[in-house]
Amino acid sequence: MIDIKLIREEKDLVKENIKKKFQDEKLPLVDEVYELDIAYRECKTKADDLRSKRNTLSDNIGSLMREGKKDEAEKIKAEVNNVNNAIKEYEAKEEELQVEIKKRMMVIPNIIDKSVPIGKDDTENVEIEKFGEATIPSYEIPYHADIINELAGLDKESAGRTSGEGFYYLKGDIARLHSSLLAYARDFMIDKGFTYFVPPFMIKSDVVTGVMSFKEMEAMMYKIEGEDLYLIGTSEHSMMGRFIGQMIKEEDLPLTLTSYSPCFRKEGGSHGLEERGLYRVHQFEKQEMVVLCKMEDGMDWYDKMWHYTVEFFRSLDIPVRALECCSGDLADLKVKSCDVEAWSPRQQKYFEVGSCSILGDAQTRRLGIRYKNEEGTKYLCSLNNTVVATPRGLIALVENNYNEDGSINIPKVLQPYMGGMKKIEKKIN
């Protein structure tokens, strides 16, 4: 949610930002908020004037009572009663206007950074840099589900019976490799100085609306029937919710946090679910990084964070590239975002394995997360980034370490988590 001062003082900037995001249908909201805000401030001024008048009248009542002028005092008491009724009416109108303003402000997109490329959708994202050599082996690499099946590591048929489409069982060495990838990601971030968390996997609605747009919420979140609880789509949601309404000590900044969680997503829409594979599913696990810092330090942390993901995948010998997300591909709360994509030697193209975002004060303003310095009280800047999400990370690992005989090599950094195992051999289910 942007600062309403931008609409008061720079309406054209807010409108231009909406156009850059190709959301012209939201342009009328800016003028609506502008007019509602004028009405709100006029209403507040009148209520404040009446409160001042009430204070003066109350002082007069005291003076008259002390002078024994009871009849005059009673007349003023009646006037005070009328003033009180008028104040209540203005307060009710203020509250009504605030609700209408907030309803519109919650869907006006955040101001994107000047460096964000302008484009309608993800087809217009811009490559920043490639890391590692994207090679294609001389032998064919099967579909990832077939590789894992041959290694006795996947059972989607049983998951279909227990849970339906979009779920899976991982088993044996593959399940262990999956867990090893997450354990290594945890330790990787701890070594970077981040504090490790395992957060709640359900959050209340006021946290959900604080961390994401309504459009994202509808597309992603599972609601717990009969309760004010949602299953998290990423641990960023819980981690931001941890600080709702808090005043952070300046000396504690920046807060650098890394969190593990299962994640649950509807994955509705045109892309659908994968029937055989593990690329797009309802349930996965993720190691996340979240940073809360001063606004002026935000872009430095943004660059550090997405480079950490690159470093993580390169330590697994997986070639990756970073893509700058264009304006039309940015969720409404984001200032700037980039995706990290892993090389798929089977498809001979890159696919998304992580996303890094800086959100300015969009989340912290909604959640009331602030700090205080000599200049006054300020909202913090929030950032989030994927270290690894798996089984998507597992797919990249399996494809890039696949051998012609059907086995897969285990990268050196993961071998200690696999009991020293260097290779997973082909097995019969």
Q: Over the chain, what HEC string results?
A: CCCHHHHHHCHHHHHHHHHHCCCHHHHHHHHHHHHHHHHHHHHHHHHHHHHHHHHHHHHHHHHHHHCCCHHHHHHHHHHHHHHHHHHHHHHHHHHHHHHHHHHHHCCCCCCCCCCCCCCCCHHHCEEEEEECCCCCCCCCCCCHHHHHHHCCCEEHHHHHHHCCCCCCEECHHHHHHHHHHHHHHHHHHHHCCCEEECCCCEECHHHHHHHCCHHHHHHHCEECCCCCCEECCCHHHHHHHCCCCCEECHHHCCEEEEEEEEEECCCCCCCCCCCCCCCCCCEEEEEEEEEEECHHHHHHHHHHHHHHHHHHHHCCCCCEEEEECCHHHCCCCCCEEEEEEEEECCCCEEEEEEEEEECCCHHHHHHCCEEEECCEEEECEEEEEEEEEECHHHHHHHHHCECCCCCEECCHHHHHHHCCCCEECCCCC
Mention the CATH class of domain 4-105: mainly alpha
**Residue 270 confidence (pLDDT):** 44
The angle at the Cα of 137, spanning 315 to 317, to the nearest 5 degrees, equals: 0
Q: Sorting pLDDT into bands at 50, 70 and 90, what band is 214? A: confident
What residue spans define the domains of the chain? 4-105, 122-424
Average pLDDT, the chain: 93
**Residue 429 confidence (pLDDT):** 47
Q: How far is CA 375 from the centre of its chain?
A: 28
Query: Do 233 and 265 touch, CB atoms closer than 8 A?
Result: yes
- Separation CA 239–CA 379 (nearest Å): 17
More confident residue, 245 or 268: 245
**Residue 81 confidence (pLDDT):** 86
Query: Do 221 and 268 touch, CB atoms closer than 8 A?
Result: no
- pLDDT tens-digit profile of 53-82? 888 888 787 787 777 777 787 788 888 888
Residues whose CB is less than 8 angstroms from the CB of residue 176 and which lie 6 or more positions away in sequence, other chains included: 418
**Residue 275 confidence (pLDDT):** 67
Query: What fold is seen in the domain 122-424?
Result: BirA Bifunctional Protein; domain 2 (3.30.930)
The token duo for 296 is 């002026």
Q: Sorting pLDDT into bands at 50, 70 and 90, what band is 274? A: low
Q: Sorting pLDDT into bands at 50, 70 and 90, what band is 192? A: very high
Residue 273 has pLDDT above 80, yes or no: no
Q: How far is CA 380 from the centre of its chain?
A: 15
Burial degree of 279 (CB within 10 A; 0-12, 13-18, 19+): middle
**Residue 428 confidence (pLDDT):** 55
In percent, the amount of the chain with pLDDT more than 70 equals 97
172-176, 213-217, 307-311, 347-351, range with the lowest pLDDT: 213-217
For residues 237-242, average pLDDT: 96
**Residue 427 confidence (pLDDT):** 67
